[in-house]
Amino acid sequence: MRRFATTLKDFAPRSEFTTALRMSNPPAIRIDNLVKRYAAPDGGEGKLALKGVSFDVPQGGIFGLLGPNGAGKSTLINILAGLVTKTSGSAEIWGFDIDQQPRNAKRTIGIVPQEIVFDPFFTPFEVLENQAGFYGITKHFRRSKELLEAVRLSDKRDAYARTLSGGMKRRLLVAKAMVHSPPILVLDEPTAGVDVELRRQLWELVARLNDDGVTVVLTTHYLEEAEQLCDRIAIINHGELIADKPTRELVEMAREKIVRITVDRDLAGPIVEQGFHKVEVVEPRILEITYDRDKASAGQVLGQVQSHGYTIEDVTTREPDLEDVFVQLTGTG
């Protein structure tokens, strides 16, 4: 991966507290029994968006927070950002309780929202300068120029933000989230609705930030990307935490396996056998079978196909992936 001319190591917090926290290695984020119930317009019992969620985000990695639409991900992120008030439970960001030490908690986290949120009539340099001012960073300690170099926007420093391409705007959002040098960066659906090249650029930038010591929390609907990028993944569904494991362990939870079988003659139709979860004739002589690998082996599946009078000419299998586990746990397609 090509390295930027300017790295982001210089933007890591330098306080004694930060140094001590890194050495003691507690979680970057700690969520404990977090509950959020929204008020109902008629004064009755409102929607319960989070139902006692608890998990830790380790320091230094890329953590995936996944779930279907409406699962509670955005509510949780907005609580961490200070935009939504929790009903009960607790949350700590870099060791700071969001209720008892809200200012310190906010200074240790940067949020990159899904929406483009900055004044289109400001230049990228002005966007960063204004954001630094909101955090009370004096001009002597601002690093707007270095941040623009890091996200490859130096040549657009004085252009109106509205003239930037979609990829440039996304990178500017990342720089904006990093003006106060937070050790934690949260990206909420950063590649939703963007093209392949822009997604590649964003993931390169995220990987560089993580290499330079920033803990990254990522929400995305692109499960293949989450599987490749994330060290650990938590899945929320209907406001409840249903999984929290290292990515490889989570993928290995998948029980279903798919085998594609080519036979010697046209199939009369799907072969129905006990233990076959799904059977599909994808071509006249090709059968795709989904089965529970805890209850049958590939050899047994092939034997059952042969018992119907077919000779097997070719076999390919597909190992389970994160999408299989996600569908299995959440019941969504």
Q: What is the pLDDT of residues 138-177, one digit of tens each?
A: 999 999 999 999 888 999 999 998 899 888 888 899 999 9
CB 219 within 8 A of CB 31: no
Asked whether the domain spanning 256-330 has the same topology as the one spanning 9-251, the reply is: no
Q: How far apart are CA 34 and CA 5, in angstroms?
A: 41
Count of C-beta atoms within a 10 Å radius of residue 124: 27
The predicted model gives 66-92 an average pLDDT of 93
Pick the CATH number of 9-251 from 3.40.50.300, 3.30.390.10, 3.40.50.150, 3.60.15.10: 3.40.50.300
Q: What is the rounded CA–CA span in Å between residue 59 and residue 183?
A: 9
For residues 6 and 8, give the distance between their C-alpha atoms in angstroms, rounded to a whole number: 7
Domains in the chain: boundaries? 9-251, 256-330
Contact 161, 120 (CB under 8 A): yes
Binning pLDDT at 50, 70 and 90, where does residue 24 land?
low
Overall fold of domain 256-330 = Alpha-Beta Plaits (3.30.70)
Please tell me the pTM assigned to this model: 0.78
pLDDT tens, position by position, 252-290: 887 778 889 999 999 988 888 877 888 889 999 999 988
Name the CA dihedral angle for 271, 273, 279, 282, rounded to a multiple of 10 degrees.
-20
